[in-house]
Structure 1
């Protein structure tokens, strides 16, 4: 880990773009609309029983927390472009790998930054146990992964990186 004990916040260019878009939407569109609703609701009298006002303030706190989080991510991000990977024959950050388990079921995952991980969409964070198990692996390598359902064995069937533009 670098000085200060903070783990690097690696992110792909695509992940950074998605985070930037969410930040811009929340800060430039959602938050101003909500502030307008809260101002309108505040003008309707007693705030203690004003549902629009109470809900609006709660929602505003949630948006502000998310904006602060996204801002920190962007500030600390180290964008790594996997299309510029030099060693394309082994699993590294940004690789999309096809794995085959002991039952011959295939699973395709892309190793991305922790802040852009979305397991349901096949994006796993680089510090997740599954990603760590495969970093450095080559096609044909078999690795065991300890999952909540128990230990599973996977073989690397394919490694793909985005094409350089």
Structure 2
């Protein structure tokens, strides 16, 4: 069986989404579909067609999340991780030109709504795993090998600009 790794934060967010879809959103849309169906001719009823399609999308997402939680593993931060890049780390890298990139290494299911998140399976994440502050990271790209240096590693729960990564963190 294939395990799906999720950060504790990502696991909780997806669990909350599933709960919301099942307990609140789906019943609301079901009620609208029932109301629209009671108006008569469904083939010409835009409310019915739109909300029926929305209901199918909700059901598809519920099925996806339900199957995900059958194989999901919630990975909790462990203080042993400090000082090295592992799953869930916020990383800051700098190249020789002074260009800085910042990202968090997470599971595949967490990257979609977060522009600063990268998959654990990505070449960049694989190159960073196990590295320490000031270590060099090399990634093979279509335009040649790229080299960066790790200038920050942090495991605090953080998002966007308030993640507080910096040299010596």
Band the TM-score falls in, shorter-chain normalisation: 0.7 to 0.9
Corresponding position of 2:101: 107
Query: How far apart in 1 are the matches of 2:99 and 2:62?
Result: 39
Correspondence 1:11-160 to 2 at 5 A: 11-82=6-77, 84-118=78-112, 120-146=114-140, 151-160=145-154
Structure 1: segments with no counterpart, 5+ residues: none
Query: How far apart in 2 are the matches of 1:120 and 1:87?
Result: 23
Query: How far apart in 2 are the matches of 1:49 and 1:147?
Result: 52
Query: How far apart in 2 are the matches of 1:147 and 1:27?
Result: 43
Q: State the shift of 1:145 in Å.
A: 2.5
Deviations 1:73-118 (A, max 9, x none): 2221111112x14142221111111111232122221111211124
Structure 2: segments with no counterpart, 5+ residues: 158-169
Question: Structure 1 pair 62/104, CA: closer, same or farther in 2 (3 Å)?
Answer: same
Q: Residue 10 of structure 1 aligns to a residue in which SS?
A: strand
Alignment size in residue pairs = 157
Q: State the shift of 1:154 in Å.
A: 1.4
Question: Structure 1 pair 147/35, CA: closer, same or farther in 2 (3 Å)?
Answer: farther
Q: Give me the TM-score of the superposition, normalised by structure 1.
A: 0.85
Question: Structure 1 pair 18/119, CA: closer, same or farther in 2 (3 Å)?
Answer: closer
Q: State the shift of 1:30 in Å.
A: 1.0
Query: How far apart in 2 are the matches of 1:126 and 1:140?
Result: 21
RMSD, aligned CA: 2.1
Q: Give me the TM-score of the superposition, normalised by structure 2.
A: 0.83
Q: Is the 8 A contact 1:118 1:124 kept in 2?
A: no
Q: State the shift of 1:12 in Å.
A: 1.0
Q: State the shift of 1:45 in Å.
A: 0.8
